[in-house]
Structure 1
Amino acid sequence: MTNRPPSEPESSQTTALGFDEFIAILVAFTTIGAILFWSLSRRDSSWDLNGLLSPSSTPSRGVQPNQVLPSSTPQVEPNAAPNNVLPSFPPEAVVEPKTSSFPTNSATSYRAVLPSAQVIPTQSPQTLVASTTGLEPSITSSALPLVTPAKQKSIIPPPIAFNDVPNNFWGRPFIDVLSSRGILKGFPDYSFRPNQPVNRAEFAAILQKAFDQEPSKTAIAFQDVPAKFWATPAIDQAISAGFLKGYPKKSFKPQQNISRVQVLVALASGLNLKAPTSQNQILSVYKDAKDIPTYAISKIAAATANDLVVNYPNPQILAPNKVATRAEVAAMIYQALVKRGKLEAIPSQNIVRGRSPSQSSPTPKPNLKGNLSAESSSQQ
């Protein structure tokens, strides 16, 4: 027989595990399972076992990547802060999430991500947008405090610089004040025409602007004043206020030039000036007092006593029947407004200062006395 080298013993396929080997395998699997269960149950642990088990961690609880956990709608209690307000942030802060998905390197970092929590800003929308974009906010006018001026500015415009009223003109102070208040106006060529006559319609228009009387409810239908005439409202107002009167047969004569005595009578009537007791004494200041019409004696005396009369160039010459110029009407209207307390007095040597009855005055001249007594008797 040929001797064969001894072969390695073949392993038996039917040999069962021993009891010790079974116990060792069971202990090993139990230990590994306990470690895995312990690591998964500790959410606050800093161990990252997910990174060891797989290349890319899978978010827990079935959260898909790039998905933000929806915030549950809490029950709102009375006087509770809105759910979009974080009390730990200042009122001006705006909290925005840094990423729209959970980080892949931590399984428990989803607690630091909040779905667009925003605090209601106290600034205006323009300021809020500028703060988020990094631009300098533009200050709107509503954000600026209101400043009240210490002294109220005057709403009266400066006087009109008429090219035909020099600085040394005697009526320049009166014209300047009335033109700045819109009572008197000039012509399109920037002239005032101070020596131009004034008709009755123009005088009614000046009265309307100067005294601002309420319009009459019952107007007189003058035959010579059309309904669409430019001065019809002013004429009705002057009639109702007692400044002007019409003529017989329902005529007004709007185009007729008004005289100086008619201007003074109209102002004394509209201001309801009382006639002084000593008319002769007051009117003796005029050298031409005999030229005053009978119907106007008491009105002229009242106008003189209240400083309404302005005579140029000689204060002692009244010239009652002379046609009134625009400059003279301006001066007398101004004095009437001073009497009403609307304007301040202007010092002028052309204003006739009325004398009080208690003051002594020279004896009236015989012709003046006789004229006044005759006119008084005819007026009665």
Structure 2
Amino acid sequence: MKKNPYISFIVVIFLLFSNLIFNYGKAEAKNSFKDVPTNYWAADEIDYLSSKGIISGFNDGSFKPGQYITRGQAAIMLTKALSLSTKNRPNPNLKDVSTRSPYFQSVSALADENIIDDLIKDGYYYPGQLLTRGEMAAILAKSYGLGGTSTEKYIDVPDYYWSYEYIQSLAANHITTGFSDKTFRPNQPLTRAEFSVFLSRIMDSKFRSVGNRTVYLDNGIEVMNFQSGSSQNSYSSAYADPYYTVESNTGEKYKNYLTMHISSFADAG
């Protein structure tokens, strides 16, 4: 029997479209570093930043995703992510960032752009100090001009907290999810993997915790991995199932009931 070329063409198009739908928002990790396997929760984001030259590993081929990131290291990464020129920037005259410092150019550029104002105290930037989640929220929100207020409220971030508005902006733009106990933990330091995830989410909406992809809390706990059907270029899913999460730092186990409804093919981020 002779095959109908029109039907074959329709089948091919359908398969390609189905693959697009069910892999929407998923980046392909290429295992750039020996200690970041492809199934690591932040592998896609780390590979994304590595491919853009924003992050790099160590001489032994590792990335050390669990190592905490310093303010100086964050300044370098952010300057690269923003493609900021470091030429002819005024010297901020910081007492702990001399012209010979490896962080001088990046810190000077960010200071000139008024991005790190909240992190400078009495003429000190403290480049070797660990970057906290609250500080991360401030520099990312200011770097990308984020605004907005989220309905999500964190019990450890009152409205008078210094970075409250920045944290709200990240939540409103689906950059942060917080933790399952309704905390944000603004004074907790960030790992290299966590900072990579936040930066990737803000640079490319496909990494944000919305849409047809796995949803993670800020510490890499998988909340759910949902799929959706498609019809007339749209998808719609709703869930109200109990799930358990275990905090990686305390070992506490929480039971939660997640209700989620997602509709439309457009990225909600």
Q: TM-score range by the shorter chain?
A: 0.5 to 0.7
Which residue of the partner structure matches residue 68 of structure 2? Answer: 197
In structure 2, the CA distance between the partners of 1:170 and 1:310, relative to structure 1 (3 Å rule), is: farther
Which residue of the partner structure matches residue 122 of structure 2? Answer: 249
In structure 2, the CA distance between the partners of 1:162 and 1:293, relative to structure 1 (3 Å rule), is: farther
Counterpart secondary structure, 2:134: helix
TM-score for the superposition, normalised by structure 2: 0.61
TM-score for the superposition, normalised by structure 1: 0.44
Which residue of the partner structure matches residue 93 of structure 1? Answer: none
Matches within 5 A, 1:295-310: 295-309=162-176
Alignment coverage as a number of residue pairs? 184
Query: Is residue 42–residue 197 contact of structure 2 (8 Å, CA) maintained in 1?
Result: yes
Distance 2:195 2:48 in 1: 13
Which residue of the partner structure matches residue 240 of structure 1? Answer: 112
Matches within 5 A, 1:329-340: 329-338=195-204
More helix by proportion, 1 or 2? 1
Query: Is residue 308–residue 351 contact of structure 1 (8 Å, CA) maintained in 2?
Result: no
Query: Is residue 157–residue 164 contact of structure 2 (8 Å, CA) maintained in 1?
Result: no
> Please, what is the CA RMSD of the aligned residues?
2.5
| Partner deviation per Cα, 1:161-209 (whole Å, 9 max, x = no partner) | 3111122211111111111111111111111111101111000000011
Query: Is residue 160–residue 180 contact of structure 1 (8 Å, CA) maintained in 2?
Result: no
Distance 2:38 2:181 in 1: 21
Tell me the CA shift for residue 293 of structure 1. 6.9
Tell me the CA shift for residue 219 of structure 1. 2.9
Q: Structure 1: which 5+ runs fail to align?
A: 1-157, 353-380
| Partner deviation per Cα, 1:245-272 (whole Å, 9 max, x = no partner) | 2433211111110101111111011112
Distance 1:307 1:351 in 2: 11
The structure with the larger Rg is 1
| Identity percentage of aligned residues | 23
Q: 1:266 aligns with which of 125, 131, 139?
A: 139
Is 1:223 aligned to residue 86 of structure 2?
A: no
Counterpart secondary structure, 1:209: helix
Counterpart secondary structure, 1:349: strand
Matches within 5 A, 1:60-139: none
Distance 1:328 1:252 in 2: 22
| Partner deviation per Cα, 1:186-243 (whole Å, 9 max, x = no partner) | 1111111111011110000000111112336323110111111111101111222333
Counterpart secondary structure, 2:216: coil
Query: Is residue 67–residue 192 contact of structure 2 (8 Å, CA) maintained in 1?
Result: yes
Distance 2:193 2:177 in 1: 10
In structure 2, the CA distance between the partners of 1:175 and 1:335, relative to structure 1 (3 Å rule), is: same
* Counterpart code for 1:267: L
In structure 2, the CA distance between the partners of 1:229 and 1:323, relative to structure 1 (3 Å rule), is: same
Which residue of the partner structure matches residue 152 of structure 2? Answer: 283
Distance 2:34 2:177 in 1: 23
Distance 2:160 2:85 in 1: 31
Counterpart secondary structure, 1:165: coil
Distance 1:182 1:217 in 2: 22
Tell me the CA shift for residue 308 of structure 1. 1.4
* Larger RCO, structure (CA 8 Å, separation 6 or more): 2
Query: Is residue 224–residue 252 contact of structure 1 (8 Å, CA) maintained in 2?
Result: yes
| Partner deviation per Cα, 1:79-116 (whole Å, 9 max, x = no partner) | xxxxxxxxxxxxxxxxxxxxxxxxxxxxxxxxxxxxxx
In structure 2, the CA distance between the partners of 1:254 and 1:292, relative to structure 1 (3 Å rule), is: farther
* Counterpart code for 1:261: G
More strand by proportion, 1 or 2? 2
Tell me the CA shift for residue 351 of structure 1. 5.9
Distance 1:164 1:334 in 2: 19
After the TM superposition, which segments of 4 or more aligned residues of structure 1 sit over 3 Å from their partners? 214-217, 288-293, 314-317, 344-348
